[in-house]
Amino acid sequence: MGERELEGVRTLTTVHHINCGFIQVPGGPKAVCHCLLLEDARGLALVDAGIGLLDCRDPDGRVGRPLIDLVGFQFDEADTAARQVERLGFRPADVTDIVLTHADPDHAGGLADFPAARVHVSAEERAAVAAGNPRYLPVQFAHGPDWRPHPAGPADRDWFGLPARPVALGFAAEVLLVPLFGHTPGHCGVAVRQSGRWVLHAGDAYYLRVELTTDDHPVSALTAARADDDPRRRESLEAVRRLARDHAGEVEVFGYHDPAEFAPAG
Ligand SMILES: [Zn+2]
| Sequence spans of domains, the chain | 14-262
**What is the model's pLDDT at position 195?**
81
Q: Residues near 18 by Cβ (< 8 Å), separated by ≥ 6?
A: 2, 3, 34, 35, 36, 37, 50, 81, 84
Q: How confident is the model at residue 240 (pLDDT cuts 50, 70, 90)?
A: very high
Q: Which CATH number fits domain 14-262: 3.10.290.10, 3.30.70.20, 2.40.10.220, 3.60.15.10?
A: 3.60.15.10
CA–CA separation, 15 vs 246, rounded Å?
A: 24
Rounded to the nearest whole angstrom, what is the distance from the C-alpha of residue 7 to the centroid of ligand 1?
A: 27
Model confidence pLDDT, tens digit, residues 10-44? 578 999 999 999 999 988 889 999 999 999 999 99
Rounded to the nearest whole angstrom, what is the distance from the C-alpha of residue 170 to the centroid of ligand 1?
A: 28
Per-residue pLDDT at 1 exceeds 50: no
CA–CA separation, 97 vs 99, rounded Å?
A: 7
Q: Please, which residues have CB less than 5 A from ligand 1, an ion? A: 106, 204
Per-residue pLDDT at 259 exceeds 90: yes
Rounded to the nearest whole angstrom, what is the distance from the C-alpha of residue 159 to the centroid of ligand 1?
A: 24
Rounded to the nearest whole angstrom, what is the distance from the C-alpha of residue 83 to the centroid of ligand 1?
A: 20
CA 131 → CA 134, 136, 189, distances in Å? 9, 10, 22
Model confidence pLDDT, tens digit, residues 39-81? 999 999 999 999 999 999 999 999 999 999 999 999 999 999 9
